[in-house]
């Protein structure tokens, strides 16, 4: 009867050892498969092949990283566009002030010329000036003799300056409007991408919690504690 008890004990030990060996073998096989998949993925990546990603955390992490980079680039572009809009608005304001100043000076010069014209006409009507003298006076103020002085007239010498100042102001105003519109679009795009990046970060945190508490986390922890294939376990 003693040998039967010994045989049963040996059988129990063999069965227990077989179960442990089977579990260890399963873990080793899982590790080999996982490493093989990673090796194939690395080779496919080097050759530009499409690689199916089965790890949810890796997928979400890659998306979160891409979303964060896109949001950062969009914010930089929005800041740059805002700076350009501020500069364009300042240039518009300067051009507007210059246009108003040139226009004001031209009108003031026109009023002075009108006074000279009226005085010359009055003197001519009193026979104090001849026609040639009247023409010389009007030529000096750059108004043809046939023309009659009108209200708020701009002298001929100021017309080019007034038109040039007006054109510069119109161009500056158009540039400022375009820059402002571009800044608004860039700011809206940056806000949208920032929201997507925050959502992706939340999804990544949720995926990591799920993986760390689920079956995948358990298998990874077990594999991390087990020896690598081909290594000897110290006795």
The CATH class of the 54-225 domain is: mainly alpha
Write down the pLDDT at residue 80. 96
C-alpha distance from residue 7 to each of 15, 16, 18, 19 (Å): 12, 14, 16, 18
Token code pair at residue 129? 């000036």
Lowest mean pLDDT among 19-28, 60-69, 210-219: 19-28
- pLDDT tens digits, residue range 33-53? 455 545 544 544 554 544 443
- Which tokens sit at 43? 């080779």
- pLDDT > 50? residue 172: yes
Kindly list the distances between the CA atom of residue 137 and the CA atoms of 28, 144, 146, in Å, as whole numbers in the listed order: 110, 10, 13
Report how far apart the first and last C-alpha atoms of the chain are (Å, whole number). 34
- pTM comes to 0.51
The answer to whether residue 170 scores a pLDDT higher than 90 is yes
- How far is Cα 171 from Cα 136, in angstroms, rounded to an integer? 39
Work out the mean pLDDT of the chain and round it to a whole number: 70
Judge whether 117 and 140 are in contact, CB under 8 Å: no
């Amino acid at each position: 009867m003693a040998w039967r008890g010994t045989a049963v004990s040996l059988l129990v030990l063999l069965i227990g050892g077989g179960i442990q060996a089977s579990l260890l073998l399963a873990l080793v096989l899982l590790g080999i498969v996982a490493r093989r998949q990673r090796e194939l993925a690395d080779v496919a990546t080097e050759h530009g092949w499409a690689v199916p990603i089965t790890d949810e955390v890796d997928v979400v992490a890659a998306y979160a990283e891409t979303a964060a980079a896109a949001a950062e680039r969009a914010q930089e572009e929005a800041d740059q566009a805002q700076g350009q809009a501020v500069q364009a608005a300042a240039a518009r304001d300067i051009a507007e002030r210059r246009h108003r100043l040139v226009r004001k000076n031209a009108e003031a010069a026109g009023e002075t010329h009108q006074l000279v014209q009226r005085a010359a006409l009055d003197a001519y009507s009193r026979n104090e000036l001849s026609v040639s003298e009247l023409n010389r006076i009007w030529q000096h103020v750059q108004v043809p003799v046939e023309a009659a002085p009108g209200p708020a007239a701009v002298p001929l010498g100021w017309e080019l300056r007034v038109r040039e100042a007006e054109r510069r102001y119109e161009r500056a105003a158009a540039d400022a409007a375009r820059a402002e519109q571009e800044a608004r679009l860039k700011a809206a795009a940056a806000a949208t991408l920032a929201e997507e990046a925050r959502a992706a970060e939340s999804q990544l945190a949720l995926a990591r919690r799920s993986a760390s508490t689920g079956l995948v986390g358990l298998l990874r922890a077990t594999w991390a504690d087990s020896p690598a294939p081909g290594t000897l376990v110290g006795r």
